[in-house]
Amino acid sequence: MAEGRAAGSDLKARDEAVNRALRAAIEKGVGALVNSETMTQNFQLLDDRIYSQVKGYVKTYDVVADNNGEGGIYRIKVKAIVALGALRKDIQALNIIKAQKKNPRIMVLGVSRIEATQLDSAIQVRDVQTALEMKFSDMNFPLTSKEAAQVANEKELQDIARCAALGRRFDAEVVVTYEAIAGLQEASDAYGIKVFAMNANINAKAINTDNARIICVDHASGTSRGPGMLPTAQKALGETGLKLAESLANKIIEKWRGEVFNTVDVKVVINNINYAGRNAVMDWLKQQRGVVNASERIFANNALEIELTVEGSVWGDFDRVVDACPAPKLTITTRTPNRIDCAVR
């Protein structure tokens, strides 16, 4: 049940009152999915992206009370069914979260091995790579060029900093790395046909290329059966890769959701700054609205690197905050989802 009001006693006012009642119903739906603090801190975001899409979330409604504009104010009460599934998807997933994160691009890097005495241990398969990229693409994640997948080896994939640098090289904001292994679980004869059970295990992590931090880690396993060890192993890797991709994507989105609606860790790098300027900037940043924490990571060769924890609702326009620094004056040279590079004017 929700109520809406509008000034006037004509049909236009009634329509407005109905619309506001439906919006109130959606607000109740939002309230069932996020806490009140989130709603308060991110009112404008929710207002722009959610509450304006009344028809998209209200499945059906009935007007249960109508004062017919008595006293020059229309009061309408409705009983509405809100599509919480669609609402949840838009709040937690791509429509809001990806937009606020500037639609990050993803690069997938990894290695797959099939371990069995009857097979060459050097066999490399692309089934996991294909499965991950296909699933991310289905979920509308923009992917970087596939040529990036050819430039990393297994040793490099263990180095988070190198993976982050590689991602930046190919204009990716997120690098997903994985290690997949398929092995023989059992072999049996079925009516004279050799049947293999191949088990696949995949470990993966998502890395933020701006600050070389791990966004999340994940694991998936699965078993496939069939004739032929190699095709069955490839099938196990592919199916497990799809399962992993969905789980990993949800973890990435959940991490982004937390950053958009709560806090985000970002890096600010300032070049051509002296020590006095360093002190002034640090003191000024700590006083700014939405800055939860500001820590100096390094100051050397007239370059200052700062790690900030910023409220998600503020971070979207934080370049304006940096641009307003009174002294020393700063010029922003680069802005990415989790990093701002600037220099003293």
pLDDT at 77: 94
Poorest-pLDDT segment among 39-43, 48-52, 102-106, 289-293: 39-43
pLDDT at 237: 92
Query: What would the pLDDT profile of 163-177 be if each residue is shown by its tens digit?
Result: 999 898 888 999 999
Phi, psi (deg, nearest 5) at residue 119: -115, 150
pLDDT band (50, 70, 90) for residue 179: very high
Q: What's the mean pLDDT in 244-265?
A: 82
Cα–Cα distances (Å) from 125 to 82, 129, 226, 277, in that order, read 46, 9, 18, 53
Better pLDDT: 301 or 59: 301
pLDDT band (50, 70, 90) for residue 131: confident
Three-state secondary structure string covering the chain: CEEEEEECCCHHHHHHHHHHHHHHHHHHHHHHHCCHHHHHHCHHHHHHHHHCCHHHHEEEEEEEEECCCHHHEEEEEEEEEECHHHHHHHHHCHHHHHHHCCCCCEEEEEEEEEECCCCCCCCCCCHHHHHHHHHHHHCCCCECCHHHHHCCCCCHHHCHHHHHHHHHHCCCCEEEEEEEEEEEEEEEEECCEEEEEEEEEEEEEEEECCCCEEEEEEEEEEEEEECCHHHHHHHHHHHHHHHHHHHHHHHHHHHHHHHHHCEEEEEEEEECCCHHHHHHHHHHHHCCCCEEEEEEEEEECCEEEEEEEEEHHHHCCHHHHHHCCCCCCEEEEEEECCEEEEEEC
Predicted confidence (pLDDT) at residue 204 exceeds the cutoff of 90: yes
Q: What's the mean pLDDT in 12-40?
A: 75
CA atoms within 13 A on the CB side of 226: 12
pLDDT at 243: 92
Architecture per CATH, 263-344: 2-Layer Sandwich (3.30)
Poorest-pLDDT segment among 121-125, 228-232, 249-253, 286-290: 121-125
Poorest-pLDDT segment among 60-74, 216-230, 302-316: 302-316
pLDDT at 320: 86
Q: Is 2-92 CATH 3.30.1660?
A: yes
pLDDT band (50, 70, 90) for residue 294: very high
- Which tokens in the block code for residue 270? 């300032």
What residue spans define the domains of the chain? 2-92, 106-261, 263-344
Q: Which of the listed ranges 47-56, 94-103, 106-115, 257-266 does the model predict with the highest average pLDDT? A: 106-115
pLDDT at 122: 44
Domains 106-261 and 263-344 share a fold: no
Q: What's the mean pLDDT in 292-314?
A: 91
Q: Hey, which CATH number is domain 106-261, 2.40.50, 3.40.50, 3.30.70, 3.30.160?
A: 3.30.160
pLDDT at 58: 82
Longest dimension (CA), the chain: 87
